[in-house]
Amino acid sequence: MESLIKIKKEFDHNLKNEWEDLQKNSNINFFQTFKWQKYWSQKCGNNIENIITLFYKNSELVSILPLNIKKKKFIRILNWNGFPFSDYNQPIIKNNQKLNSDDFKFIISQIYLNYKFDNVHLLNCVNSEYLNDGKFPSNNLSKLIFFKDETDSKIIQNLNKKINYEENRLKKNFKYEQYVDTKKNKKEIIDFFILEKNKQLIRTRAWNYLKFEEYKKYICDLIEFDEKNLCFSCLKINGKIISSHIGYKFNKNYYYIFPVYDLDYKKYSPGNILLYKLIENYRLKKFYTFDFTVGNELYKNKLNNFIENIYEYITYKSFLGFFYYIKIKLKMFIKMLLFKKNL
């Protein structure tokens, strides 16, 4: 069986046609859609080299791998498009086809012939059967609610009493408004997210991606992105937002991506109230899943009824790449120890 790859550097019309034809006949998540990948590339792709790889068998397009090469000091790293906003990374694979480990090795070797790099480092990998010996479990897990009868009784009903109590307190003390999947307040919701997320990242001493202009622009310009698949929601008291969320809808799945709340109103649980309103909204709309996406936040443990492992993959192609490989392995080992300690 003859295999070959083609590499595209631009999200042009020809790539769009091939990608969206394949997309219709594959099992992907929102982050692998052509529209999202192009948007990410326009906002965050200034310092990368696109290596969008189309894989063919016997002249039939089997898979597209949205990759790039990024230079990090003295090394060149082949990785997925989408950092830091793609929670799930995978190839787009045609439904009646498979991408196995030999195919993946062939693809990487062919890319390397034309575009030398030091490492392959793939984060947040799902549906990762094609990955070979360099794969290992990430510390992150994906947690979801699959909507079904037992979900309604066990999860939704347990939430209902607590949330009704918290919501009634807000109604009693303030002029209370809720907007779920609204066309209103979009600019206000984005501004609120940037303000409160920046505070949170500083307070928790986490990596603050909002300090980078391209990542901040990604958030700010979401208002222009995709009205069909983007969801803006918020709670207001006395005309002021106290919690908000920006999420994605795709193929009857909801992705819980950008939640924030005003810490001054923590005692009223505005984040939990809005989360419940979102879960209830998409349950009633007969969505298949409510996807909390990657992360080990404690509140997700109480709500999910399904957990999926997330994988990381790393290998090296050069002497310099070997040192980067060792550094990442040590870093992951320390994270794993800390993760187990906190369980």
pLDDT tens for 146-183 read: 887 655 556 677 677 778 888 999 999 999 999 999 98
Answer yes or no: pTM beyond 0.85.
yes
Contacts of 282 (CB under 8 A, 6+ apart): 147, 254, 290
pLDDT at 12 over 90: yes
**Between 24 and 225, the higher pLDDT residue:** 24
Confidence of residue 120 (pLDDT cuts 50, 70, 90): very high
pLDDT at 27 over 60: yes
Confidence of residue 340 (pLDDT cuts 50, 70, 90): low
**Residue the block writes with tokens 């992105």:** 225
Please report the pLDDT score of residue 77 as a whole number: 97
User: Is residue 301 classed as helix, strand or coil in its secondary structure?
Assistant: helix
In whole angstroms, give the CA distance from residue 138 to residue 307: 13
Is the peptide bond between 137 and the residue preceding it cis, with omega within 30 degrees of 0? Answer: no
Model pLDDT for residues 269-283, shown as the tens digit of each residue:
999 999 999 999 999
Q: Can you give the residue ranges of every domain in the chain? A: 3-138+310-341, 148-287
pLDDT at 111 over 70: yes
Residues 53/69, Cβ–Cβ less than 8 Å: no
Please report the pLDDT score of residue 279 as a whole number: 92
Q: What is the DSSP string of 226-274?
A: -TTTEEEEEEEETTEEEEEEEEEEETTEEEEEEEEE-GGGGGG-HHHHH
Please report the pLDDT score of residue 298 as a whole number: 80
- Residues, the chain: 343
Please report the pLDDT score of residue 35 as a whole number: 95
Model pLDDT for residues 229-257, shown as the tens digit of each residue:
999 999 999 999 999 999 999 999 999 99
Amino acid code (one letter) for 160: N
Alpha helices in the chain (DSSP H): 13-24, 34-44, 101-114, 149-151, 157-173, 186-204, 213-220, 270-284, 298-303, 319-341
Please report the pLDDT score of residue 334 as a whole number: 80
Given CATH 3.40.50.2300, say whether it is the number of domain 148-287.
no
Model pLDDT for residues 47-102, shown as the tens digit of each residue:
899 999 999 999 999 999 999 999 998 999 999 999 999 999 999 999 999 999 99
Please report the pLDDT score of residue 335 as a whole number: 74
Average pLDDT on 123-139 reads 86
Task: Give me the percent of the chain exceeding a pLDDT of 90.
Answer: 74
Task: Give me the percent of the chain exceeding a pLDDT of 70.
Answer: 96
- Fold identical between 3-138+310-341 and 148-287? yes
Q: For residue 7, which of 53, 76, 65, 69 has the smallest C-alpha distance?
A: 53
Confidence of residue 137 (pLDDT cuts 50, 70, 90): confident
The arrangement of secondary structure in 3-138+310-341, i.e. its CATH architecture, is 3-Layer(aba) Sandwich (3.40)
Least reliable range by pLDDT among 35-44, 190-199, 295-304: 295-304
pLDDT at 321 over 80: yes
Confidence of residue 6 (pLDDT cuts 50, 70, 90): very high
Residues 258/267, Cβ–Cβ less than 8 Å: no
